[in-house]
Chains A and B, each alone.
Chain A
Amino acid sequence: MAEALLKVENVSKRFGGLLAVDEASFSAASGHITALIGPNGAGKTTLFSIIAGFLSPDHGRVLYDGANITGEPPHRLARRGVARTFQIVQPFAGLTVRENIAIGSHLSHRGRGEALAAAGEVARSVGLGAQLEAPAATLTVAGRKRLELARALAIAPRLILLDEVLAGLNPSEIRDMIPVIRTIADSGMAVLMTEHVMQAVMSLAEQVFVLAEGCVIAQGTPRQVAADQRVIEAYLGHGAAKQMAAGAGHD
């Protein structure tokens, strides 16, 4: 694997009595798709918020392109080339699709006309070309997910954090979205995604990190991780791996 663009080192975050992230370490490389998976409440979104600057970690540090970016505010990270999508979509509801995306385009285009034109191109690349002038509030869930993606891409990032961009989509919408995500990685960006839709993780990710109760408990290719006993137990409960092995033996 190439030199990592993003390195997370021993990051911990505590909310009162809850240790949401516990000494988590992982990395993501340019041109590759890295997935961060784990059961509900494992701390995936917290980690994302820390990387994107919305939360500060209690311990540990985040390195991006060799620089320590721990605790830098989101807008400055965005200017460095770190983009994120939100798990709960956050469209600028009163604006059109084009105007939404143009806010991101403005990072590299000062003029209003250029930013709006650039936004059109980004929209077409994620399949929103037909809805450019529609108010964002009128989009379907799938459309809003694409809009999240388009806005993040509009800042021309080098690292893009996709927080459950497939959640809430139906199987055919997921099928349409997967090639879009692969194209992003092929263009040279580092893609870090969290996802519940395992089918997508299996077909997209090259490197998977499994988070459970705030700790990274396994890492490897999707196939290696899926066979890992600790991962099975984290998802299905204590003793599940043994039962499955026993069940397989009976067949």
Chain B
Amino acid sequence: MKTYWPIVVVVALLAAVPLFTTSNVVFNFLVAALLIALAGQGWNLLGGYGGQYSFGHAAFFGTAAYATAVLQVRYGVNAWLGLFIGIAAGALVGAIIGALTFRSGLRGSYFSLVTLAFAEVLRIIASVAPITGAGVGTLIPLDLHPRAFQFQSRVPFYFIALALVALSLIIVRVIENSRFGAYLVAVRENEDAASALGVDAFLVKLCAITISAAITAAAGCFYAQYFLFIDAGIAYGPWISIDALLAPIVGGAGTVFGPLLGALVIKTLGEATKLMAADAPGLDLVIYGLLLVGVVGLAPRGIAGLLRTLSRLRPSSGSTPEGSHG
């Protein structure tokens, strides 16, 4: 049980924020960060733990966002039901992409490129298909009612985002402590050696991409409800694929808190950049690029890895005989 205490503490701290502020600026910032943390946690499971670097998590985010939006607008489906259908739709897309790519034995950068291609193809289809509203996009009509998954205030949204992130932290922690998690890491470290020990690498990767897609899909559904508008560039655009991989890599890929930590850092940097140079569009992307280069070069295991190394360097805390299962 003790491996779950850090999750309880972090979630409790974040849940206490509304006690101290009512500022919409703060909530907008935190909701955006939690959204990226959630999408990033999905990427982290497949990329951080499984070593399969996807450049196309937008495919899952976008599918879920469109599923929940289109079902509400065109078929009158309840938004909460849409949330679950959206997650299922994202997971299904994950399973299909996984089955196709892993069955053909794509590894490393080939896998990355093919996932990018899938997301781009979906973006182009969404930008012309009538059901998605094509170039105009889909607008979810305003209905500020909890049963429509819409709220007057930012605070309920904040708690829902936090609950989703908490759930994703627990899911990843459970996986980390399970046989499936051990097999997933073994596949990342050495696929041949893993299969010689009875690990069905294909099945393990397929399960991982399906769960990964479902988590990122939850972020897509939330996005649609929060902003009430999506188009092809938002749903399937490269921005979400980049944020979803940048957050865990910066925070520490293959660690439970990596995506949350990374999301807070990159969102803070993004906001700071906007404050300093409001009229320079794209400058935040330049900052992200520099950050990525810096992290990969100086702290390849992210902030979490850097903190762990630093704590080992301090002689006092280095002597604790704690196993590295944290």
Residues of A at under 8 Å CB distance from B?
Answer: 52, 54, 73-76, 78-79, 83-84, 86, 90-96, 99, 102-104, 106-107, 110-112, 115, 133, 151-152, 154-155
- Cβ of B13 within 8 Å of any chain A Cβ, yes or no, is no
Instruction: Give the contacting residue for B199; candidates A75, A96, A110; CB below 8 A.
Output: A75
A102-B196 contact given A90-B190, A133-B323, CB 8 Å threshold:
no
In contact, B194 and A73 (Cβ under 8 angstroms): no
Task: Give chain A residues whose Cβ lies under 8 Å from the Cβ of B188.
Answer: 94
In contact, A91 and B193 (Cβ under 8 angstroms): yes
| In the bound complex, CA of A91 to CA of B198 (Å) | 15
B153-202 with Cβ < 8 A to chain A: 177-179, 182-183, 185-186, 188-190, 192-201
In contact, A78 and B193 (Cβ under 8 angstroms): no
- Cβ of B324 within 8 Å of any chain A Cβ, yes or no, is yes
Taking the nearest CB of chain A, how far is it from the CB of B3, in angstroms? 11
Task: Give chain A residues whose Cβ lies under 8 Å from the Cβ of B195.
Answer: 73-75, 78
Residues of B at under 8 Å CB distance from A?
Answer: 177-179, 182-183, 185-186, 188-190, 192-201, 323-324
Taking the nearest CB of chain A, how far is it from the CB of B194, in angstroms? 7
Task: Give chain A residues whose Cβ lies under 8 Å from the Cβ of B185.
Answer: 92, 94-95, 99
A155-B198 contact given A96-B324, A99-B182, A112-B178, CB 8 Å threshold:
yes
A106-B192 contact given A96-B324, A155-B197, CB 8 Å threshold:
no
| In the bound complex, CA of A107 to CA of B198 (Å) | 7
Task: Give chain B residues whose Cβ lies under 8 Å from the Cβ of A110.
Answer: 179
Task: Give chain A residues whose Cβ lies under 8 Å from the Cβ of B196.
Answer: 52, 54, 74-75, 78, 83-84, 86, 152
Task: Give chain A residues whose Cβ lies under 8 Å from the Cβ of B186.
Answer: 92, 95, 103
| In the bound complex, CA of A94 to CA of B178 (Å) | 18
| In the bound complex, CA of A78 to CA of B200 (Å) | 10
| In the bound complex, CA of A79 to CA of B182 (Å) | 17
**Chain A residue nearest in CB terms to B198:** A78
